[in-house]
Every structure is written in C-alpha cells, then in structure tokens.
A = this chain, B = another copy of it.
Amino acid sequence: MHPRPILNFLGLLVLFLGLSMAVPLAVSIVFEDGGADALALSMAASSAAGLLLFLSTRSREEVQLGHRDGAAIVALGWALAGLVGTLPYLLSGAVPGFTNAYFESISGFTTTGASILSDIEALPEGILLWRSLTQWFGGMGIIVLSVAILPYLGIGGMQLYKAEVPSPVVDKLKPRISETAKTLWRIYILLTAVEILLLLAGGMSLFESACHAFCTMPTGGFSPMNAGVAHYESAYFDGVILVFMLMAGVNFSLHYRFMKGNLSAFPRDPEFLAFLGLFAAFTLAVTLDIHGSIHRSLSEAFRYASFQVGSILTTTGFATADFERWPACSRLILLLSMFIGGMAGSTGGGIKVMRIVLLAKHAHREVRRIIHPHAVISVKLGGKAVADEVLSSVWGFFLLFVGLFVVSTLVMAAIGLDLVTAVSSVAASIGNIGPGLGAVGPVRNYLGIPEAGKWVLIFCMLLGRLEVYTVIVLLVPEYWRR
C-alpha cells in the first residue's frame, strides 16, 4: 500500500471535480436561477482542498502502484467524489440534510439514478446540470475501471478483456491507463455529443438535451423533469434515448473496434449477441404481456415495452411508463433485467451479460459431464476455451453479488420496508438502475426510505458499481497486512 500517491491521485480528482463546477456555475449565471452562489462556493472550496491535497502529497520518485493500491484508489475515489458532490446540493439548500445529499450524490457518481427529490423542476438549472454531470463523470470513471483496471486486478472474470484495447501492464498501471482511457473517452464524448444533437433536432431545449445525454451515456437515468422522459410523450425522443441507452450498455471496446473499421466487431461478439437476444426476448414478452391489459395498440405496447426493457437491462433507469402498474410477469422480467445488466466494459451495471453467458455455459457443461463422465469438456466463448480461473472468478462474483443482495434485502426488511420495496430497492441499487417497484417505483422516489435504509442503499450502489470485489477486499483484514 502506498498512501502518498493514492492521496495525490485523490487530490487531483477533487481538484478536477471542483474545477468542473465552472460549467454549472456558468449555466446558473446565464439562467439567473439563484444557484450561482452555492456553486461558486462549492467550486472554490473543493478546488482549494483538492489542490492542497495534491501539492502536499507530490513526490519526485516514481512509485510503482500495485493492485492493492488500485482497489483503494477506486473505492476511496468514488466515496470522496460523492462527498464533493454534496456541496452544491447542501449549500444551495436543494437537498435537505447530509444523508439525502450524499444519497443523491452517490446515486449520481455510481450512475444509479435513484433520487430523493420530489419536485425536480423547482431546482436551479445549474444544480440540475451538476446533478447530470455527476453521472457523466461517473460513467467516465467506469470506463477506466472496467476496461483498464478490473481486467488487471483479475476481478470477476474481467481478465477476459485484457487484450481488447491498448492496455496497461500490471506493474506500470498509471501511464498506460490514461492512454486506454483517452481513446474510450473520446468515443464516450462523441456519442454524448451526437445524442445532444439528435435531441435538439427533435425540439428539446439545449439544457434539457444536455442533461439527458449526460445521463444516458453513463446509463445513469437522472432527468431534469419531474416526470422523467415520460414528460415529453414523444416517440422520437423515446427512440433516440433508447438507441443511446443500448449503445451505452455495449462494451466500449466494441465501439472502438467498429470505429477502427472492424465492421464485424459487433456480429462476431458472443456477448453482444446474447445482450441483443435478451433485449429482444424480454421486449417481446413484455409487449405481449402489457398489450391488452395496459395498451390497446400493439405498436404502443411495443414502444413502452422496448424502452423500459432497454432502460432497465442497460441499468439506465429512465421511465416512460409507470411499470409498477404492469402485470406481474412484466414486473418480474424487469426485476430479472436489473440483475443481468449491460455488457462488461460498458457503463451499465448489474452482473453483466458476459458473466451470465459464462454461467449458463458452465451449467450446460456440467449437464454434459454427467452424460459423458470421462470426457474433458471445456467452456468456450467465441470459439476459445475459457480458463477455469476465469470461470472461478465469475462464480465468486456471482455469489458475492447474490449474497450481498440477500443480506441487504433482509436488513431493509428489518428496517421496516415491505417485501416488494425491500427486494426491489436493493436490486435497483446494487444493480445501479435507480427506480424499483413498490414504494420506490418509477413515479415515486427514495425520500421516504428511513435514514438507515438510505445508508444501506448507498453501500449497495458503491458495491454494485465497483464490481463488489473492489469494496469487499478493503473490508478483509488480510488486505491491510504488510
């Protein structure tokens, strides 16, 4: 463990977040929304604190950061970003109390999208833009995490992705991470810009277009409107946002390879095919389920079903319908989608399609092994045998994810939530979706959850976002020895 370079990095992060508040500050000044003072103060305080921490921990000697440092940087970085994010909320009085502010801020940086706000439209535009930016920055963090860090920490089977993009060497983590990250960030920024343009073209204001795009690409799901995307009642906006949610749920290295001219990058990727297959199957089932009971016309049923399945499967969490009122089968499919999540290497949360595919293939192999007890049968992905170590890592991830989901749900129920709300609030938090079912359904919010419950959910959001292991290792005494 090297505390000095870790603190140095954290200082840089806080400085960056502080400086970035210049953008919402400018918006607040232009809109004269009354949020400028709070944003200016937040910007000054965090920039100063970040700069101080950065300068006081600088060191001339180049330290080689190991994988222990990696886990600490990631977990502390997210927790600290959440803290910085509360400043504009608290100083402007937009969010009442520290717990609520930290909940909203962590929900932003983990790109969850669960909110404690009841009247969103009453808040200053600058504050709302900051809220959207927390998600957008969270998404940038996830890209680095899932494509450049996790594969090298050997976490949850992500080592499969080691060779996908220009990549760092374990021992010299720092210099080459930035190379990989920059490449993928360019794609992320490009897609965000294209979405803003398409929303503008449909007649949405620049402010609202930016806010929605900043929350689509990280699969975040915050909206500046009280009714969310449902506010517009527009098939065009639904379609644009759905397409970008799906793109955000795809492994960014596929976008990279596609843009490099590899046109078969998508159809050749088994995880992508499974992701599309799940999206298509779930959309079909929900369309048939809500057709008749909720929507008279089949095309309308398809429109709302596809948007909602895409939104939940990619773990974005935008809503165009009150799916809390949909039949049980549709609600169960959405609940199941919360666990599956997007592709590995995307900004989506959940268990990830790659892991679900490997788990299913593993189960299939075990069935075949009973039929052929003496044969050696390996699990293959895209024609290549998957190492047992990778499978083992995936299984461990799956069990930790499910185990922590079960324990957290029991705690939420013990705190006093009803069964459906306890189950779905934890699923929506650990999967980084946002809206759940019951008291935290799409047209309601998390304000009424008891204080202790909010902290459980904050922990779940971090757990899910940091792929469980990164948080869990920090809680093991062994990690801190030596």
Contacts and interface: CB of A to CB of B under 8 A. Distances in A.
A397 interface: yes
Interface in A337-367: 359-360, 362-363, 365-367
A362 B409 contact: no
Contacts of A369: 154, 393
A45 to B, nearest CB: 36
A331 B362 contact: no
Given A392-B362, A392-B366, A417-B328, A371 B68 contact: yes
A23 interface: no
Interface string A231-243: 0000000000000
Given A67-B373, A154-B373, A370-B153, A396 B360 contact: no
Interface stretch (A74-82, A192-200, A250-258, A471-479): A471-479
B363 A396 contact: yes
Contact of A472 (B367, B373, B420): B367
A473 B362 contact: no
Given A332-B419, A410-B333, A419-B332, A403 B363 contact: yes
A469 B329 contact: no
A155 interface: yes
* Interface residue tally on A, bucketed by range: 35 or more
Nearest to A481: B371
Contacts of A476: 367-368, 371
Say how many copies of this protein the assembly contains.
Answer: 2
Given A369-B154, A370-B473, A476-B371, A329 B414 contact: yes
Interface in A408-457: 409-410, 413-414, 417-420, 422-423
A399 interface: yes
A331 B422 CA distance: 12
A171 interface: no
B396 A366 contact: yes
A36 to B, nearest CB: 45
A406 interface: yes
Interface in A140-155: 153-155
Nearest to A66: B373
A23 B409 CA distance: 48
B419 A393 contact: no
Interface in A1-21: none
A396 B367 contact: yes
A55 interface: no
A469 B363 CA distance: 10
A340 to B, nearest CB: 10
A289 interface: yes
B363 A413 contact: no
Given A327-B413, A368-B478, A418-B328, A395 B473 contact: no
Given A154-B373, A362-B392, A367-B473, A328 B397 contact: no
A388 interface: yes
A372 B67 CA distance: 10
A362 B332 contact: no
Contacts of A333: 410
A378 to B, nearest CB: 11
Contacts of A328: 413, 417-419, 422
Given A365-B396, A413-B332, A473 B371 contact: yes
Contacts of A365: 396
A274 interface: no
A418 to B, nearest CB: 5
Contacts of A472: 367
A400 interface: yes
Nearest to A170: B373
A409 B335 CA distance: 12
A336 interface: yes
Interface of A: 67-68, 71, 153-155, 285, 289, 327-329, 331-333, 336, 359-360, 362-363, 365-373, 388, 391-393, 395-397, 399-400, 403, 406, 409-410, 413-414, 417-420, 422-423, 469, 472-473, 476, 478-479
8 contacts: A154-B369, A329-B414, A332-B413, A332-B423, A366-B396, A367-B400, A370-B473, A372-B478
